[in-house]
Structure 1
């Protein structure tokens, strides 16, 4: 019979920090969530739709990253932990299913289920760390913060439209501020980053896998959209631009940045501090960029000859979010004086494309090809700069 002590990983043993098949199985639920978010944004491509989809994305990301932190300590080969993850998977599927109508008929289901999943998982961690006072108190503080935000999630589900959005934004503000405030609770003190003694390599791998999931889903949506269209020169060009853009996005993140960051956090004296900033907060920009780029790719394929103002924002904004997230991520994990020059140059080029839009009103296809060329330029620039930087007598900021 398993005891709560056996629910925890044993650190230091061979493969103790390896991402398990149970964790990978859990992550697959979020393929559906990413699809739902991109489709919801595509159907409501205006300021209100952007705000609502952003709130839902922030909630989904927070649920996933908090669970990833927890499984960093939990042993997924134990029955209790597997049952926890399977329960969260079921909740995640229902939560994802409610996304399209989260500000309508399924709002109460979304708010209630999200609060229950967040609080329930944290209380599980309190029990798992019984006998480990510092970690137990850490998750007890976290549970209290999540109970507070949960009240706003539930209240929002009971309200309608704008009031629901306001309540849920307050809930998100509480949850996102909590780690930055070290989960301070009167009478219980505050946490320390040393309490968050994560296995850096494990958390880095989880985030890398999430990025792969998001990029893979983007490609699947592109392929499915292209399959339903007539193969004209415009749609073929849009398809190739979307594919090459996805490859360039993969290259920007995985060619050197992800591996270097994984090594850095694995050997950090305070991995909790680096994990909080570089992975918990910064990665949400990267994933958000992928989701918006998926929306942009579909717009370019379906409406290559015309770009609405909202569509233009999506086509330029997706790569801008992605490059901004990667620039911050690499800056934080490489201890540079400045973010990578290649990424800053890419952001400047995107800004110049915004000026081009104001002057010439280019088609969606032209914009899509342009953003792909920007992403490819950044990928090639960084790769060449890093290769030169490894040569004797050279230094590079990429």
Structure 2
């Protein structure tokens, strides 16, 4: 297993990586659907907690595979078999989402352990084949293996220790890459990483479109008014289109100039992915409210969409734009739009107002950049070194 070069040209996602992402669609859809049902029943606290917990497991498993693949994707038989095992674990994880929202994480843990032990085997193989980076690979293998044992042991803890132990283990998971990369770090390809994150963003936004379509279809089949539902569906699509535009307007790879920045950027995407997935659940709640199929009041139903949209805007602002961006209309526009979106919760049409705010933000970005990506053109990005020293 040879390390991939971090300066390869035309490094793109492989068919196996795309297949891996496709299988994660199931887990993301299950998490969003469970959040929708919890919110619709006015179980806001338990629903949000369950969603964040489950989505962390989904995101973390995807992230670990993605960064390993960027460093060591050899696409040989052992690598493919190990990836198939990880895909199997992802499907097991997806099957346990419903139970996890009820407080039973057994199936989720089984799926995660299956995925992560396959990854341990990959890291051990990398350690054997890549002597210069062996210390980092062994640290990854050790840290992942120990934590999987801790996750299994957590299932036996009393109920009053479940939340504290969850927080400790999450911090432990986040710390393993930081600890492993303190020695000679593994390689990674910044264009490849940026593309992989972009593809997962598309998957999550696609789930929003699917959730909206299914909710509108079910409402129409129940005999509800067509006009208001169509209007709501159009506003939802405008929100999704605007989210896509705002995320992909900036060339993300230009920001990945060091490992520290890349890790912060990569970890920060938890907010982007989770908030985007939650928007789909929020749109469904809005449709439920219009069709009198939820126990939520108008403000709470609106916040099911406006809060995740605002989080998405702030996360994209922090990860892709930056408060010190030289283009002030953009630097100020994102947090201002997030505030206006939250304020839309208290209007009579939160989804439509949110769509209007996002269109205005997209227009601001287009006018401020004259339709060209900032801080530079794609040509400028191609002339930058693939990885900063």
Place the TM-score, normalised by the shorter chain, in its bin. 0.7 to 0.9
Cα shift at 1:312: 3.5
Checking the alignment, whether the CA contact within 8 Å between 2:324 and 2:331 is kept in structure 1 is no
2:264 aligns with 277
1:89-100 pair list within 5 angstroms: 89-100=87-98
2:192 aligns with 202
Checking the alignment, whether the CA contact within 8 Å between 1:74 and 1:81 is kept in structure 2 is no
Q: Deviations over 1:197-222 (max 9, x none)?
A: 31000011000000001111110111
Higher relative contact order, structure no. (Cα contacts within 8 Å, ≥ 6 residues apart): 2
- Give me the TM-score of the superposition, normalised by structure 1: 0.82
Pick aligned residue for 2:17 from 23, 28, 31: 23
Change in 2 beyond 3 A, CA 1:72/1:168 = same
Deviates more, 1:326-335 or 1:214-223: 326-335
| 1:219 is aligned to 2:209 | yes
Checking the alignment, whether the CA contact within 8 Å between 1:127 and 1:136 is kept in structure 2 is no
**How many residue pairs were aligned?**
361
Checking the alignment, whether the CA contact within 8 Å between 1:330 and 1:340 is kept in structure 2 is no
Cα shift at 1:141: 1.6
Change in 2 beyond 3 A, CA 1:13/1:352 = closer
2:378 aligns with none
Change in 2 beyond 3 A, CA 1:384/1:70 = same
Change in 2 beyond 3 A, CA 1:49/1:390 = closer
Q: Deviations over 1:222-260 (max 9, x none)?
A: 112212222522211111111111111111112x21xx2
Checking the alignment, whether the CA contact within 8 Å between 1:285 and 1:324 is kept in structure 2 is no
2:252 aligns with 261
1:395 aligns with none
Cα shift at 1:61: 0.6
Pick aligned residue for 2:4 from 2, 9, 16: 9
Distance 1:133 1:109 in 2: 36
2:385 aligns with none
Q: Which runs of 5+ in 2 are unaligned?
A: 375-389
Distance 2:322 2:23 in 1: 29
Cα shift at 1:389: 8.2
Distance 2:327 2:261 in 1: 17
RMSD of the TM alignment (CA)? Answer: 2.7
2:60 aligns with 62
- Give me the TM-score of the superposition, normalised by structure 2: 0.84
Deviates more, 1:104-113 or 1:215-224: 104-113
2:288 aligns with 302
1:78-93 pair list within 5 angstroms: 78-93=76-91
Change in 2 beyond 3 A, CA 1:52/1:162 = farther
Distance 1:22 1:289 in 2: 26
